[in-house]
Structure 1
Amino acid sequence: MNTRILLVLWMLLLTGCVSGLPPEVVAPGTWRQVDHAILAASQDATEQASHFARDAMQEWREQVYQRTEAEFIPWFSSYRARQWLSVKLSWYRLGAADEEQVVDRLAFYLQQQYRKRVLVPVARETDPVRIRERTTRFYLWLMGELLARIPARHGVPAEQFERRLEAIPAITLAPPPNRNASLGQLIRTERLDRLPAYRALAAHVHKAPAAAVLWSEDAGISSVATQASRQLTAELATSGVASAVSAMIGPAGAVLSLGVMGVTALVREGDRAEREARLRESLGAAFDAQWRAWLSSRDNGVMAGVHYLDDTLQRQLMLRQDAPRQTP
């Protein structure tokens, strides 16, 4: 019995001694190497995230092109649609101060149609806003994978490394305090959407150009719609259809007769291929310009969240380079 008691006391003594050991001291030079490794990890993750975003954006662009080709262009150049556009044009003329106002109103209608027939349906599957969100999450996931290798590589105790990550600000959108988050918080949080600071970051970068469905209001597509509107207005002016439609509209704005849909064709069917080619070229040029803007904009593009996090880490860790190093 005495031997057993002595053994228990000895084990308790050993446990007390082990738990009372001072933490391992990490040299300041080692912490500088760790900081450089974190910076390198962020640069690597940013580069990989850019490839991820470009691939996703390419897929989105192809879907927009396909739907533009299948839905919008055939609709715009169809006989029935252009008859209806002639009705719209004549209606706009009733209350317009000048011809330029008529062109603008028809252009806005074309923008709405492009949004309805192309951008909204594609956005049900993917769009730049979702791609931006997925890209930011991909960056944070990859950062977690890369950072996990650093402690063993530099001989730093895992607990001290974790505390160091908790001390590195990654989102600094204060006030209020809960709009801030450390690097450690971001890579350890499973539900980022529940983290107030992450939601604040999403709101911070969610500025125009933002939702793809709003591209119909962008200067690019607006100019295309205006150009198409001018062409259509000119065609109507020389075709005699506009005056025929106007004659069917009473001064009090009576209901349009369904017979309007049977008026003479605005443009010969032989001109359809040429019209479609012009519209396809104009839409393609405007869309490509906006697509490149979404990829390149550091403030609002699909890489905006990643650039914000990388820039913040670069700034925070570079500030530490000249500061005295202490064990966390």
Structure 2
Amino acid sequence: MIRMSDLSEEELLEKEDDWWEREDETNLEWIIEGENIFKNLSRVNPREIRYRETLAYLLLMQGEDLKLRQHSYKKATSRFNQVVRIDPENARAYYRLGFLYFYQEEWAKSVDSFQQSLNCQPRQTRNRLVKEQQVKAHYYILKATQIISKEFLKKVERIPVKDLKLFGEIQHLLKEMKATEQQEEKPYQMIVNGTEFSEISEREYEELSDPDENENCFILNQRSMNDVTLSLNGKDISIPTKQVPLLEFLMRHPEGVRHDDIIERRYRQSRDPHATLRRSISRLRDRLERLQPLEDLIKTIDGGYCWNSSYEFRMFKHNRDVSTDLLLD
């Protein structure tokens, strides 16, 4: 049996064509087969960025599997670093690295990567950040910096008071920072009707996300990457990991989103992105029908789709959860 590592680039590209013909991002075996193909394509032609980008994309998709996540995300981080070494003006690759480092709680590296993504001047449109991504990069720079400050504050507080008096200004700064810290911690975020954002406490989260206590309100609750539910009037359905980014994107843009915007964020590596998007929408509609059988919650509009319900809807997740951002940037 011929090993993949013995094939030439031309032979591997034939394998790639056959692999794309069977495209199914819900099939872990298909994803792992693609990883093997693009790992070898990257080996035989290390200067071709497409191979590395597609490989990194497949590694992120493997990260949806709980057992593979940590290993896959580390490999994806390595691949995106290879991409920026070859193409140092690739803002999208730095942007992805920002989320990967944030997920791995490497806060300083996350800040640096997001800053690099904002400073890049890509020649190719596909590697640039749109305005919403630029704003999101600024948000995560501030969020990671905030976490770094809190962690460093704990270290400084362990310094003996007599030593702190050697530089009096630090005591004044510590007093200011502690005053801010004494406010009730708000580790969760809530988005109402796609646009009204707020940070909430653990107590508020428990109250506002309880489907039995909040009637006539859709509740998308992302407890973790592999534990996501959509609820209405006490009834809930689980949302598979691969469907969460698409559902969240639609709910965050109630005015509707264009096909091309979804493809650029989620399916741009696909050989036939429009067909892949149609399949994904169909699967998501089938899932949502279990919750609301008589209402098409995803409406087809001119050139795209929109969330379609007269009920209020709320979205909840932890402030440090970037799982959907990794898969739909």
TM-score (norm 1): 0.22
Q: Which has the higher contact order (CA 8 A, sep 6+)?
A: 1
Q: Comparing both structures, which one devotes a greater share of its residues to strand? A: 2
In terms of Rg, which structure is larger? 1
TM-score (norm 2): 0.22
